[in-house]
Structure formats: C-alpha cells, structure tokens
Structure 1
Amino acid sequence: MVQSTLPILLLASLTAVATARNCQNLTVPISISARNTNFSLQAPATNVDVSNFILNFSQPGVNFTEQALGPNGAPNSTSGEFATITGTYSIGATYCEPDSGPGSALQILTHGVAFDRSYWDFPAHDYNYSYVNAALARNYSTFAYDRLGLGSSSHGEPVNEIQTGLEVAALHALTTQLRQAAVPGIAASYDKVLHVGHSYGSVQTWALTAMYEGISDGIVLTGFSESGDFVPYFMLGGNYILAHDASPTLASYPAGYLAPADVTAIQINFFAPGNFDPDILDAAYRGGQPVTIGELMTLGGVTTGNNTFGGPVLIVTGERDIPFCGGNCDVSNPSIPAQANQSFPNTSYFDTIIVPGAGHGLNLVNIYFPL
C-alpha cells in the first residue's frame, strides 16, 4: 500500500508513450517570505569575474560562502548575515491531466539547474523523452513549473534575492494552493500530492518536506544524493559565463545570472559516455536556462541533518552522476545516494535506485529503465 503512493517513473529515452493528454499553461501569483542569506558579494560584471567566482567557490578547504557573508547588498536589509525577503511573484507553470479526467494523484515537478519546466516534458524527438507523458499514461496529473527566478516565472536580483530559501517558499506556496484547489484554471482537488525533483529541484523538495510537516504524501528525488563533496566538479565542468553572453535567448538576464558557454559543458555535467543522442544534447543546450550566484551559494548544507518526513521516499540517480556522485555512485557500499537513508528516520518506505550507465540528466538518457 505504501509503494502505491509513489510515482512510477519511466525515466527518459523510453519508447514513446502514446497517451491522451489535457494540458494548459498557467501563470500563478504567489506572495511569499523567506529568510535569505545576506552576501556582501557583488554580482560578477565580466566573464573574467565569473571565472574568478567559480575558482574561489570551488577551492578545496575554503568555505567561500562563509567568507562572502556580509552586511551589505541584501534587499530590505541594512545589516546582518540574514535578511527577510518578502514579495509577490508570478510562477509560470503547466498543468496536465489525462483526457479521462484528473489523475489518481498530483505530481508537482521541480526541475534543476540548466533547465526550465520543459525538462519534464522535453519536446525534442516528438516528446519521446517526456516524463509527463509517462506519468499521464499511469493516471497521474502533473504540475511542472519554472522555478522562481527564471523562465516564464518572475526574475529577480541574482545574489541576495533568488536563493534556495525563497524558492522553497515558492514551492510551499504553490503546493498549498494546489492542495486547496485554489490555483486559477485548475478545478480538480487532489487527496494525494506527490513531489518529484531533479537535481537542485530534489534539494528543494528535500528542504520542503523538512520544513513543512505533512506538505507531501511522497517524494521522489532524482539526480540526487546528500553529498556536497562533488559540487565543485559541477561548477568547474559547467564552463560558466554571464548568461546574457551565452545565448541571445538569455539576453534579458542581468549580471549575476550564469550559463554554460558551450554544449560541451552540458555534456560533461549531464550526459554519461555513450548513453545519449547528440540531438538531445544539442536541444538541451539550446533550451538551457541560467543559474544565479545566490542559488549556487545557498544549495550547500540544505540537506544536512535529519528530515522528519514520514511518507515514502524514493531516490533515483544515474550511476555516472557528476554533481552528486562525482561520476560513480557505486564507489561505496551502500551507494552514495543510498546513504541518505540515515536522514529519514520516520519514513514509511525508503528505496534507492542507481540507473546503470546514466548521467545526471536522467530524463534525457538513452537507457530503457522502467521502475
């Protein structure tokens, strides 16, 4: 019975799932508040500044985040290491349900760095890599959204505003509205609401359930472990430059938003050798989204300590995942992702699946691996 509350994942590159679907794009207003970290760091103004930031952030034995704490620069703050950020924002989202009507449960899908919500409904190759289609075929409804700060959601100041804390507050606000059937354009009400994350979206899902008891009926953390040891690999492999220099589609983002400079950076961080279609790699790069300095500075330390979440937990990570396993999740026994079991003492069900040969971008790999 417990396992039935978990989404049945069909991770990417599967044979096309023929399913009838009813989808609509939405703009959801939210009013939120969060305790953000107050950094004295200035947004890098040049690509040399970006490289200096990456090198300083990735230096072994140095806590650059702690060094960057300071009294200046945070919106609505004049001093101190923390600042309360309050605002009203718009969240771009897509809600889908089977043509037969609302599914048996609602999955809230939170994407990671370098993508927007299209990661879950990837359009290349006639949606053959669509997680949403796989979920709809199994009678789930889905709500995929652009994380606060990018895509069709509200953008913001990239150092002291668009940080993990404010984004988790946004996820909480969205979840609350969906549970209350209060999102304009969605008439359905759901008794079960599940959260599925990828990468940084999994970090936020973990944080959501740690902060808000009873907010979720089950979580799936993909492209995830609790280890922060390998984040420098991701930073250095990402070949980051200012987002507005990376692509004309990102020209509106101010300094402090970063993006990979070339397709090779996407390959290194998201695709394992031999298990991807080059067309999909190119599509992932062309449709890529930026990351803020504030996000990078606040993603560490979020998933430390115990999480009292009592529902079922499933972790699914590619064997060759770079940012969360350093390229080999099976280097230890139990695997690096499986070690998170110790952090969920109250969970009703816990399992970890390592997808053989897969990289970090699980939805986009050429591996048939039904779960």
Structure 2
Amino acid sequence: MLISTLLPLMLTGIATAKICTNITIPVDISSRQGLFRTVPLEGNLDATAFIQEMNNIGQNYSAVLLQDYQTLVGSYEISAKFCYPDSGVKGSTVQLLTHGIGFDKTYWDLSFNNFNYSYTDAAVGKGYSTLAIDRLGIGNSSHGDPFNVVQAQAEVEALNAITTKLRNGGIPEISDKFDKVIHVGHSFGSVQSYWLSALYPDNTDGLVLTGWSTNASFLPAFLAASNLHIARLNQPLRFGNASSQTAISSLKSWSTGDSIICGVQSLLSAINIKLSTQDIWNEIATTEVGDLINGYNRTVIPLDYPTGYLTWSDFTANQYNFLLPGHFDLALGLVAESTKQPVTTGEILTIGGSPASSPFTGPVLIVTGQQDSIFCGGDCFATGTDAASIPAEAQKAFPNASAFEAYIQPESGHAINVHYNATGAYQVIQSWLGAHGLAA
C-alpha cells in the first residue's frame, strides 16, 4: 500500500448545492459547574495514570477531584460554518450541528471524495440551512483551562447561547431569524444536545441524536481503548506550540508518494533489517509516527493546547472506538486520524453529569451505528431486555416527547459519517424530520 494513503486527501471539489461561510460567533455564558483539583499532566504516563484513576471501580474520581462548585462567567468565541441552499433561500428552519469527541465542525461537511460523505449536503439538499460549530474549547473556538473551564456544562451553555442567537437574528453574518432550530449531535455533541433539551426545553424544536444512547456503561472501555496521550506530544506540530513553517513544509514534501517508505527501507537495509513495504506502511500509518508526519496545523490560527488536552494514541485506537473494519475507506480513516481533535480532562470528569431525563415535548430521533462500541459495546441489539435496541431504551428519558424513534444504522460503527453507507443514515434523518413537522 502506498504511503500516499497517509496524506490527508482533502480534495478541493466544490459542492454546488450550497453556499457556505465560515464565521466566528461571540457568546456570553454563565455556567454552574465543578471546581476540580488539578493533577500533573505533563507526560503520557500522567495521562495514563489519570485514566487509570477514572476507571478504578472502587472510586468516583470526579468526586475525588471535586473541591467545590463555581459559576463560570465569561465571553468566548465559537467557530462555525453556516451553509444554505444555493438558491439563496435560507428558510425558517436551521439544523444546529454539534460534533463529538475527536472531531470538529468538519465532521458534518467532509470534503473527502468531493463531499460524498457530507451530512451538510444532504440537509441543504432538502432546503435546510445548517450551522456546524466547533464546540467550546475545540478547533478554532476559544480554548480554556482544561480542568475548570472546558466542561460539559459550559459547552451546553455556549450551545444554548448560539441557539438563541439563531432565533433572534443575533448573528450578523447570517442576519436571518429562524423560527425552528433542530439540534443534531454526534456522540458528546448528542450528549450536549440532550442536555440542552433538559435545561432549556423550549429552545429546541427537534432532536436528532446520532452515535448515542443513555447507556454509559461502556465509557470506561472507550477511555481505556483510547490509550490517551497528551495532545501536544501526540501531534506537536499541530496541537503544540512548536509549530514551524519550515518543519511543516518539509513534512509536506517528505510525506509525498513513496519517499518515506523508500527512505526507511534504505535505512533498514544498511543495518541488515528487511521489512516489506506493507510492514513499513503499518509501522508508520498505524502508530504515532503517522501522527507526527501528518499532524501539522493547516490553519493560520495556532492551536497550542495546554497539557490537560488529551487525544487517543494512534490510528489503531481510532479504529477500535470509531470505525467498523471493512466498512470504511481507509484513506478517509487516516484523514480522521490526522485531523483529530482532543478531549479535555474537564470533559471527561463531567460527561456523566447530564440530567436523567428531559421534559422536551417535541420529536426525538436517535441514529446509532449497529456496531457502535462507545454507546452499545459493539452490538446495539444486545440489550438483555425486551427493548428493541440499546438506543431505544432512551425513550424513558423523554417521557413527554411528541414522537420518539431509535434507528439502528447497519454496517456502521460509532462515527457514522465516516462509513461507506453514511448517506443512507442522512436520508433517514431528513425524511424523519419531514414526517414529524420539521421539514425545511
């Protein structure tokens, strides 16, 4: 397999069905959340120790580190991408898209293979406007202290603030007021969309929760399988402050074609070690070597994450948690690895703090991959109960919903949008919204 497969392969094809603008949205939030004692997180062994404590069955590590509660008050900036049909009609209904751990707003509009995996295209094709955000602390949105600023509650407050701005025309680059806001999430983005519906049930008109269930029993396995490392050490030229345009330029030229494989083969041959091209590809693409080569910042904004931001170790951990073998394009999987985003310690400590139920009275759709490992343990139908599926059990959390359905996407893992049949799930979502009073 050619080393060129390692390249990001973000093709520059232009989807003609939509008009998109990258914008920055200022938000003011007030968030009642935990004040945690911070622990050393300077090296990868520190990150491993943190997860060992999180997974210790004999303790609640969030409670161990919790010192008090605080009200976080602050002004932050949320990076977003707004899209609408190329007819110029923005309509009265917008889908607000919130990504999960490991991704950013590009999860919804993947440019890979000429946007063939784009959820945004599917929604805009049905007449919707979409707003995809980088969650607070992630991507080009404001960053912050990973323990005591970037927590789940603060991100929910930021999401709620953006929702309100969409309703009242408070985003100058958009200007329009939307009568209906549909919250579409993936994974942790679904957790936050659900959380918003519990705290502010009148501020959402419909929920589409992808890659989600109310079963959190598989979270320890996710954390362990991630083999979390310090983000700035995993991709120093992207997540750290050591970004060098000279180094980046060198890596871009060095990681072209078969030059790396040839170079490694020559080096090994000199010391009488012979590895096949496939073995060398595996050594590079499926280990942190691949992150070092492809993990360089492609934006003009330095990411410069502090040490409390963590990321999974390599592509093997990525596959275990997010991808179903045989049902995704390897090249796209490697794109997801080279462009991955971190998770904060504060998010890990607070992800389980969402309300037990939501008073939301509108329609709710859950769409989860059949082999989702994070929310289904690898089989969404293995309920051990009479429930149709593990996600279907979430109906108990929505006792007042006007409609509820849990759809299980076949031949898919957790990151639905990165699988071959992603567009099938997109069409299910758009059709379901139209059938439940939420057409564009």
**TM-score normalised by structure 2 residue count:** 0.76
Deviations 1:198-228 (A, max 9, x none): 0000000001010013101101000000111
SS in 2 for 1:178: helix
* Aligned CA distance change for structure 1 residues 88 and 18 (closer, same or farther; 3 Å): closer
Contact 2:33–2:69 (8 Å) recurs in 1: yes
Are 1:255 and 2:242 counterparts?
no
4+ aligned runs moved over 4 Å, structure 1: 16-19
Residue 107 of structure 1 is matched in structure 2 by 95
Letter matched to residue 64 of structure 2? Q
Structure 1 residue aligned with 2:282: none
TM-score (norm 1): 0.90
Cα distance in 1, alignment partners of residues 61 and 390 from structure 2: 25
What are structure 2's unaligned runs of at least 5 residues? Answer: 1-12, 241-303, 429-440
**1:91 maps to which residue?**
78
Aligned counterpart for 2:370 among listed residues 319, 323, 330: 319
Deviation of 1:61 after TM superposition, in Å, equals 4.2
Q: Does 2:166 align with 1:178?
A: yes
Q: What SS is found at the alignment partner of 1:96?
A: strand
Q: Which amino acid aligns with 1:183?
A: I
Report the CA distance shift for 1:180/1:21 in structure 2 as closer, same or farther (over 3 A).
Answer: same
**Counterpart for residue 361 of structure 1:** 415
Write the deviation string for residues 89-129 of structure 1: whole angstroms up to 9, x where unpaired. 11110100001111351000000000010000012111111
**Could you say which residue in structure 2 is the equivalent of 1:41?**
38
Match of 2:60 in 1: 63
Report SS of the residue matched to 2:374: coil
Identity across matched positions, percent: 45
Alignment of 1:141-220 (within 5 A): 141-220=129-208
8 A contact 1:203–1:303 mirrored in 2: no
Deviations 1:31-84 (A, max 9, x none): 1110111111325111111001111112234311112212xxxxxxxxxx2111
Equivalent position of 2:332 in the other structure:
280
Runs of 5+ consecutive residues of structure 1 not aligned to the other structure: 1-15, 71-80
* Counterpart code for 1:210: A
CA RMSD, 1 decimal: 1.5
Given that residues 367 and 407 in structure 2 are in contact (C-alpha distance below 8 angstroms), is that contact kept between their aligned partners in structure 1? yes
C-alpha distance in 1 between matches for 2:190 and 2:355: 10
8 Å contact from structure 1 (residues 308, 344) kept in 2: yes
C-alpha deviation, 1:86, in angstroms: 0.7
User: Residues 149 and 128 of structure 1: is their aligned pair in 2 closer, same or farther, counting only changes over 3 Å?
Assistant: same
Does the CA-based 8 Å contact 2:15-2:114 persist in structure 1? no
What code does the residue aligned with 1:339 have?
E
Q: CA deviation at 1:273?
A: 2.1
43 and 200 in structure 1: CA distance in 2 versus 1, 3 angstrom threshold = farther
Preserved CA contact (<8 Å) 1:17 1:128: no
Aligned pairs, number: 345
Query: Which residue of structure 2 aligns with residue 231 of structure 1?
Result: 219
Task: Answer with 1 or 2: which has the greater Rg.
Answer: 2
Which residue type is aligned with residue 301 of structure 1?
A: G
